[in-house]
C-alpha cells in the first residue's frame, strides 16, 4: 500500500466509522440498521476499489515515465549512432558534486549563518545522487541493457 493510499484510507475509515455510529443512533429497528450498514459496506467496497485503481494508475504513470526515458535514449542512439554524452556528463557532475560537498562539510567549519544553505545543497545533491544511482544501477539498469540489446539486434551501432 502506498503512502497516498494509506493516508486516504485512514481518512475514509474514520468517515465511514462516524457514519456507522450515526446509523446506529438514527435507525430504530434492527432491519433498518442492517440495511443501512449493508449500504455502508457497499460504499466501503467502492472506496477500496477506487483506491486500488488509483494505486494502479500511479504505478502505471511511474513505469511510463521510465519507459519514456529509455525511449529517448534509444532514439538518440538511432539518430546519431552514439550515446548521449550529456546524460553521462550531468550524472558525473551530480556524483562529483555530492562527494565534494560531503567531504567539505566533514572537513570544514561552516559558519552558522550558512549552515541551512549548506544542508539544503547537500539534500538536493543527495536526491540527485540517488536518482543517478537508480538510473544506472537500480531496476532501470536491466531495462537500459535490454534497450541496448534491442538497438544492436536491429542493426544499429
- Among the residue ranges 60-74, 86-100, 121-135, the one predicted with the least confidence is 60-74
What are the tens digits of pLDDT across the range 92-118? 999 999 999 999 999 999 899 999 999
C-alpha angle 116-122-123 in degrees, rounded to nearest 5: 90
Domain boundaries, the chain: 1-66, 83-157
Contact 131, 90 (CB under 8 A): no
Mean pLDDT of 73-96: 86
Give the model's pLDDT for residue 108. Answer: 92
Mean pLDDT for all residues in the chain: 76
Q: Which residue has the higher pLDDT, 122 or 140?
A: 122
Report residue 47's pLDDT band, with 50, 70 and 90 as the boundaries: confident
Q: What is the mean pLDDT of residues 1-6?
A: 52
Q: Could you tell me the pTM of the whole model?
A: 0.47
**Per-residue DSSP letters for 117-145?**
HHHHHHHHHHHHHHHHHHHHHSHHHHHHH
Amino acid at each position: 500500500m502506498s503512502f497516498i493510499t494509506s493516508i486516504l484510507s485512514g481518512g475514509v475509515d474514520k468517515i465511514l466509522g462516524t457514519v456507522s455510529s450515526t446509523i446506529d443512533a438514527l435507525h430504530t429497528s434492527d432491519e433498518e440498521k442492517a440495511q443501512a450498514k449493508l449500504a455502508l459496506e457497499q460504499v466501503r467496497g467502492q472506496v477500496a476499489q477506487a483506491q486500488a485503481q488509483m494505486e494502479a494508475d500511479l504505478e502505471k504513470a511511474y513505469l511510463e515515465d521510465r519507459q519514456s526515458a529509455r525511449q529517448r535514449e534509444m532514439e538518440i542512439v538511432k539518430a546519431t549512432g552514439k550515446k548521449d554524452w550529456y546524460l553521462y556528463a550531468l550524472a558525473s557532475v551530480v556524483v562529483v558534486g555530492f562527494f565534494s560537498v560531503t567531504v567539505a562539510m566533514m572537513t570544514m567549519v561552516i559558519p552558522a549563518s550558512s549552515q541551512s544553505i549548506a544542508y539544503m545543497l547537500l539534500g538536493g545533491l543527495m536526491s540527485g545522487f540517488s536518482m543517478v544511482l537508480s538510473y544506472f544501477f537500480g531496476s532501470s539498469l536491466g531495462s537500459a541493457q535490454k534497450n541496448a540489446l534491442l538497438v544492436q539486434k536491429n542493426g544499429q551501432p
